[in-house]
Amino acid sequence: SAESAELRRYQNQAAEYSKQIGELRRQVTNERFDRARKEEEHR
């Protein structure tokens, strides 16, 4: 049915979004870690 096709599309989009959010979160964490390490070195 058209409804289940809609539902599947939304679920795929949601999975796509959560994957992207996971990537972004990892980047932010890495940057924060790098910055903290650099500040340690400059002390």
User: Does the pLDDT of residue 39 top 90, yes or no?
Assistant: yes
Residues 13-26, mean pLDDT to the nearest whole number: 98
Q: Residue 20: CA atoms inside 13 Å, Cβ hemisphere, count?
A: 6
Q: What is the pLDDT of residue 43?
A: 85
- pLDDT exceeds cutoff 90 at 14: yes
The pLDDT of 4-14, averaged and rounded, is 98
Report the percent of the chain where pLDDT is more than 90: 95
